[in-house]
Amino acid sequence: MRKYLFLFAALAILSINIVYTQDEKHVILTYEQALRMALQDLLSIMDIDAEIEELQEQRDDLREELRLTHGLDTPPRGTAAYETHNEIIELGRQILNLTLQQEQTRLSRESNLRRAIVSAESYEVSLYVAQANLTLVEENLNRAKIRYDFGLISSGDLRAAQNALALAQLDIYELTHNRNTAMQNLNHMLGEPLYQNTRIDFDLEIFELPEEINFSNLITRTPLIRQHQIEVDRKRDARRAYEGNDRDTIAELREAYERVRLERDQAITTMEASIRRGLNELENLQLNRTSLLVELEDAYLAMEAVLINLELRRATHHDLAQAQLDILRVRQRIESNLDSKWVHSFLLANPSVLP
């Protein structure tokens, strides 16, 4: 399923598709383009790139040095070559740790981008529905004024219609403010100004977990837990490498290993709990969607009844407008449900960014 997000700001990007209509033009920005824009100026990633490159050069030099002196065999313990061998292993761990740090940063950025897109779209759709409601409320007030002039309703009824208009206008004001704030946040993440009426086009792909979930495999492949595992391996090897007999040193090495192992296990437990909460939320969203689809069908049936009564002069065009607004509100909630599933599915596919 494809979705479009209308953005109202000014924009300048490369490789975008401009679609012309009779009265306006739209700029379509794909989700992939938006993600590249959100990542391209992330300084932490660029800094890590430079650090990884430097460490890789150091490791390559040591590998070449060791190859020339000892070939491909592991050097004997206690020799200078063995120390070089250990340095190469440690550099590899540092490189992997930084790579995982980059991956975690990218995942966090993408999850924030998805939230920003959904937030901006949600306020945009809510504003559209609120404007439709305002039109209906204004009609209600006009009808109330006429009925009041003819003595058909009380002054209290008229004030109620006036208050309803004030509330509808306040709703428009608040939604406009929230929409603008959400757009500013999205523009800030993209790092570039946007053309008027730019739309983000994205697939509502939903991550499907298998019926039997292997939590261990799902969790241990995440960058966060793999970083913990690197530290566990480092402390384990340091403990094994110690050849002395000092009891205090042995105890310190053992305690250091047990501490990082406990931290890893606690992180795994916390992440599993987050995944289970996420699965419950996704299930609730699915149940809610099923209920909303039934509600939408009922709303369409109600509108069909109004249309029949309209032909029989038993209903008014105002009744029809109200029925159409009811449909619009249900569709808005369905869109919100789909957007929430889109965000949740990404988080469950990448549980290290689950809240």
Helix H segments across 197-246? 215-220, 223-241
- Residue 105 resides in a domain: yes
- Tally of CB atoms within 10 A around 142: 12
In 3-state terms the chain splits into helix, strand, coil percentages (rounded to 5) of: 75, 10, 15
User: Per-residue pLDDT for 9 more than 70?
Assistant: no
Q: What are 151's strand-pairing partners?
A: none
User: Per-residue pLDDT for 173 more than 70?
Assistant: yes
Of 16 and 56, the one with more pLDDT? 56
Q: Is 42:109 a contact under the CB 8 Å cutoff?
A: yes
| DSSP secondary structure letters along 61-90 | HHHHHHHHHHTTSPPPTTSHHHHHHHHHHH
Q: Write out the residue range of the structural domain in which residue 32 sits.
A: 1-124+183-203
In this prediction, residues 226-254 reach a mean pLDDT of 92
Q: Is 9:187 a contact under the CB 8 Å cutoff?
A: yes
Please give the Cα distance from 292 to 116 (Å, whole number).
Answer: 24
Provide CB contacts within 8 A for 240, sequence distance 6+. Answer: none
| pLDDT band with cut points at 50, 70 and 90 for residue 244 | confident
User: Per-residue pLDDT for 56 more than 50?
Assistant: yes
In this prediction, residues 90-102 reach a mean pLDDT of 94
Q: Is 345:282 a contact under the CB 8 Å cutoff?
A: yes
Tell me, what's the pLDDT at 25?
52
In this prediction, residues 62-66 reach a mean pLDDT of 89
Tell me, what's the pLDDT at 149?
92
Tell me, what's the pLDDT at 213?
78
pLDDT tens figures, 39-55: 887 767 778 888 999 99
- Residue 13 resides in a domain: yes
- Residue 75 resides in a domain: yes
- Residue 177 resides in a domain: no
| pLDDT band with cut points at 50, 70 and 90 for residue 6 | very low
Q: How far is CA 96 from CA 6, 55, 69, 173, in A?
A: 40, 10, 26, 50
Tell me, what's the pLDDT at 264?
96
- Residue 287 resides in a domain: no
pLDDT tens figures, 183-217: 888 888 887 765 545 678 877 666 566 667 788 88
pLDDT tens figures, 97-107: 999 999 999 99
Tell me, what's the pLDDT at 46?
75
Provide CB contacts within 8 A for 148, sequence distance 6+. Answer: 154, 155, 157, 158
Tell me, what's the pLDDT at 237?
92
Q: Is 102:51 a contact under the CB 8 Å cutoff?
A: no
- Residue 17 resides in a domain: yes
- Residue 327 resides in a domain: no
Tell me, what's the pLDDT at 203?
73
- Residue 255 resides in a domain: no
Of 186 and 263, the one with more pLDDT? 263
In this prediction, residues 294-318 reach a mean pLDDT of 94
Q: How far is CA 295 from CA 291, 302, 315, 324, in A?
A: 6, 10, 22, 13
Please give the Cα distance from 226 to 88 (Å, whole number).
Answer: 19
Of 233 and 197, the one with more pLDDT? 233
**For the chain, percent of residues with pLDDT exceeding 70:** 87
Tell me, what's the pLDDT at 175?
96
User: Per-residue pLDDT for 122 more than 60?
Assistant: yes
Phi-psi region of 313 (alpha: psi -120 to 50; beta: other; left: phi over 0): left
Mean pLDDT of all residues belonging to the chain: 86
Report residue 135 as tokens. 């039109």
Q: How many domains does the structure of the chain reveal?
A: 1
**For the chain, percent of residues with pLDDT exceeding 90:** 62
pLDDT tens figures, 73-83: 778 887 888 88
